[in-house]
A = this chain, B = another copy of it.
Amino acid sequence: MATSSVVDDITRAAVDLFSTQGYANTSVQQIVEAAGVTKGAMYHYFESKDDLLFSVYERMLSLQTEHLEEIVGRGASTAQTLRDVCVDVIETSIDFLPEGTVFFRSVHMLSEPRQKEVTRRRRQYHDVFASLIERGQEEGLYRTDVPRAVLVAHFFSDVHYLSNWYSPEGPEDKVLLAQQLTDLFLVAIKA
């Protein structure tokens, strides 16, 4: 289909501009010009500028949830599963660094219902993560002197912060970094 190309072009341009200029500072006109299409085309495929932003999140959230389910589904040990989940979410966050930038900067610009939806989806992810830690705690693997919510937040803070300092052109390698951050986390929560 030729349509998918148009949609992709628009999405790509939007992510690019949103991540460098911010959502509010980017006009629809800029996006369509960068994508090489017209406003009419954009409003044919997207309901609103808001909708465009949401679609960026949609894609990321779906992908990460998918990965999570796949990894948990493997049925490995708790320790191995948690490690794999950590590494994966860090790696995919690096793969989608611009999306992450947009995400953390501009979720609050979404309309109420959409913001709720995003929050709901993220919480689902966090809940699975938290239950993994809980299982590990029951197995005596992880410390219990710090509230689980703090442990979870402690991990996701790294993921969140990536878009604020990591540069693919920098010295850090993606795979290595994912292992290092995961290791820092796992060492910290060890019983």
Contacts and interface: CB of A to CB of B under 8 A. Distances in A.
A188 interface: yes
A144 to B, nearest CB: 12
Interface residues of A, number: 35
A149 interface: yes
A167 to B, nearest CB: 11
A168 interface: no
Interface in A45-94: none
Interface string A161-191: 1001110000110000100110111011100
Contact of A109 (B25, B108, B149, B154): B25
Contact of A181 (B22, B154, B171, B187): B154
Q: How many copies does the complex hold?
A: 2
A157 interface: yes
Contacts of A189: 184
Contacts of A146: 180, 183-184
A172 to B, nearest CB: 7
Nearest to A21: B108
A146 B160 CA distance: 19
Interface of A: 21-25, 104-105, 108-109, 146-147, 149-151, 153-154, 156-158, 160-161, 164-166, 171-172, 177, 180-181, 183-185, 187-189
Closest 6 CB pairs of A and B: A24-B24, A157-B161, A188-B188, A157-B157, A184-B188, A157-B158
